[in-house]
Chain A
Amino acid sequence: MLSKKRLPNHKDGEKVIMHFWKHPFVFFKIFLLYFLLFLIPIAVWFLIQLTWTDLLANQSLMTILTVLGLIYYLLLLVFVFTIWTFNYLDVWTLSTERIVSRNQLGFFNRIVSELELYQVQDVTVEQKGVFATIFNYGHLYIQTAGEVNRFTFEDVPNPLESARLIQQLDEEAKRCHNNPSV
């Protein structure tokens, strides 16, 4: 496991300010969907009990339905865990000198990119939708002059405050970069 205080290629004097994950409501939405999927076999079971009582007497069919139900729950659990892994491993880290973006695109498919704070040209916040407005989360776009033209922090909490913090650190980084003696 990685330390929260260390970054890849850690520089002397560099301090981690904060890590950004997706807002908990984004996780809640995903789990709500899977919870509904969890209820479907239970609902079907009650439906069978109410409408096709003769069906319950058929041992062969009950065996098949039991196996299919168990396979369904096994796959559901592993898919929830996979979705959690992919979302939890999407992390954006802000330090006193740079921003590090870590995106988990799939199994064995990961992108880690970074940009120096003095390269930041523009920070844009996008809060789109009812829930994003109510729960205060949104996308943060960072326009840069580096190799990666645009960094996107997806569905991060408090995007406005985060943008302000990035701009403050960016100004300090530009000052230090232009006058290394400071």
Chain B
Amino acid sequence: MGFALPAFAPTLIVFYWAYLLAVLFFIIVGIINIYHLLKFGFFSWVNILVIAAFVAIASCLIYFSLAVLVALDWNRPLFDSGIMNGLFIF
């Protein structure tokens, strides 16, 4: 009696998950920063402009990066024997 473990071949999707984790961290820390600036910062143009600039740049960066990542093929195997081809020339 025995059972066979299902074949598990990790694909590049693990990097996509890593990216999503980084986005989650980015959003949480960004919100904490904005909270501090709104609660303890002065009501001034500098403060408002910096918050607005961060939100605008962050939105553009996330939108752009998601647009780039969606176009990639995530089903390639992670352990590709040819992954280092061309990196080292002996």
Q: Report yes or no: A63 in contact with B86, Cβ–Cβ below 8 A.
A: no
Instruction: Mark B33-54 against chain A: 1 for CB-CB distance below 8 A, else 0.
Output: 1001111111110110010001
* B42 lies within 8 A of A2 (CB): yes
Task: Give the residues in chain B near A78, CB-CB below 8 Å.
Answer: 25-26, 29-30, 33
Q: Which residues of chain A are near B72, meaning CB under 8 Å?
A: 63, 66
A59, B73: Cβ atoms closer than 8 Å: yes
Scan B63-89; emit 1 where CB is below 8 A from any A CB, else 0: 001001100111011101011111100
Cβ contacts A51-67/B at 8 Å (1 or 0 each): 01111011111011011
What is the minimal beta-carbon distance from A83 to any residue of chain B, in angstroms? 10
A88-B87 contact, Cβ under 8 Å, with A4-B42, A19-B42, A66-B72: no
- Give which listed residue, A4, A61, A66, A110, contacts B69 with CB less than 8 A: A66
**Bound-complex Cα distance A22 to B68 (A):** 39
Q: Are B43 and A3 in contact (CB under 8 A)?
A: yes
CB distance from B67 to the nearest CB of A (A): 11
Give A11 to B64 CA distance when docked, in angstroms: 51
Contact partners of B77 in chain A: CB under 8 A:
60
From A19, A67, A88, A91, B37 is in contact (CB under 8 Å) with: A88
Interface size class on chain A is: 35 or more
Question: CA separation between A174 and B68, bound complex, in Å?
Answer: 65
Q: Which of A68, A75, A88, A107 has the most CB of B within 10 A?
A: A88
Q: Which residues of A contact B83 (CB under 8 A)?
A: 58, 60-61
Residues 66 to 84 of chain A near chain B (Cβ within 8 Å) = 66-68, 70-71, 73-75, 77-78, 81-82, 84
The answer, yes or no, to whether A121 is at the interface (CB within 8 Å) is no
Interface centre among A58, A60, A75, A88 (most CB of B within 10 A): A60
Taking A67-B69, A77-B57 as given, write out 12 further A-B residue pairs in contact, using a Cβ cutoff of 8 Å, ordered by the A residue number: A2-B42, A4-B44, A58-B83, A58-B85, A60-B83, A61-B87, A67-B16, A67-B19, A74-B26, A77-B58, A78-B26, A78-B33
- 12 pairs, A vs B, C-beta closer than 8 Å: A1-B38, A1-B47, A2-B40, A58-B85, A70-B22, A71-B18, A78-B26, A78-B33, A85-B37, A88-B46, A91-B42, A107-B36
Q: Top 3 closest A-B pairs, CB basis?
A: A54-B86, A1-B43, A67-B15
